[in-house]
Chains A and B, each alone.
Chain A
Amino acid sequence: MATMSLALDINNKNGQCTIKIKGILDISTVEIFHEEFEKCGSFNRLVIDFSEMRFVDSTGIGTIMQVIYASQERGYTVKFNGLKEKAREVFETVGLFEIMKAMQDRGR
C-alpha cells in the first residue's frame, strides 16, 4: 500500500499566510493540518496551495471547510491556488466554492 502522508509548507509574512499541501489530505492526516494551522499565528490573507496535493477525501474537504468558516470569525480572506482538475471537480460538486463565496460575502 502506498505511504499515506502529509507535509505542509507554511510561509506567514507581511499579513499573508501560504500553506502548501503536499501529499494526502484525508482522515489519517487531517490532525497534522489542524495542528500546524493553529500554529500559524495571525494573518489577513490565507492562500492554500493544492498543487502538490495527491488525494483529498471527505474529511479533508471538511478540514478545508473549517478553515473557510474560521475566516469569518478571524477576519481573513481565503484563496485557493494550484487546484488540479479532479480536486476542483470534487470541490465544485460538494459546493465548497459556494460556501467560500457566501462566507466572504458575509465578511465584507
Chain B
Amino acid sequence: MGKPLIETSKVSKVYRMGDVEVHALREVSLTISEGESVAVMGPSGSGKSTLMNILGCLDRPSSGGYWLAGEEVSQLDRNALARMRNRTLGFVFQSFNLLSRTSALENVELPLLYAGVSARERHTRAREALTRVGLGERMHHHPNQMSGGQQQRVAVARALVTRPRLIVADEPTGNLDSRTSIEIMALFQELGRSGITLLLVTHESDIARYASRVVVMHDGRVQSDEQQTPLQAELGPAPAGAEVSP
C-alpha cells in the first residue's frame, strides 16, 4: 500500500440536542493509505455517517485532528472545505443526488464548473468520465429518463471527473437491486485499480466483501478494523454476490 491519504487522530464529534450532548464519535484514530478500499460498517447510530461526513469534508470534528492528503482539514473554514471537496474527493450518495431536469453531461460538468475549468475542457472531461462509466451513449438523457443503476453511474462519473484521490460513497447500492449493485461495485473496483482510494459506507456485508478492508463502528468507536482479500465483482449470468453468505 502507498503512503497515508487519510489520517485521523482522536477525532470526536459532539452534537448538542437541547441540554443533551450526543457523542456521535469518540476519539476515532484511523489511517487509510492511498489505493485502499475501505468499507465502514455498523448499525445505525454507530457513528459511521458522522465519520463519513467528517472524512468527506462536509463537517468538522469537535476535537481531534484530521489530515487529508497532507492538509489539516480540521482547521479549514467553509470555503477551504468546499475547495477540498471539489479538488481532492468525490461523493457518491445512496439517493444519487443528481440535479433533476439537467442532462447527465451537465450533471457531470457541475464540479468542474466550481473548479473554474473552461467550458470546452469541462465538456471533454465530462464526456470522458461518462464514457468510462459506460454511459457514452446517454450523455444527453435526464436523470428521470434513466434507471437507478444508470443514475448511479452518472453520479460516479461526476465524482470521477475532477480526478480525485478519494471517492466517498455513502450506501451507494442502497437503492439498487443486487445485480446493479454488483455492476456499481465492479466500477468501483476498476477505479481502485487505477489508484483511487475508496471509502464506502454500507450496512450490507455482501457489499463490504468487495472492499480490501472493513472497519466496523459501534457507539462512536472503531470496534474492529480488518484487512481482507476483496471479492472480485464479476458479472456472470447469475448475480454472483447473491450466492455468497458472510
Is B a genuine binding partner of A? no
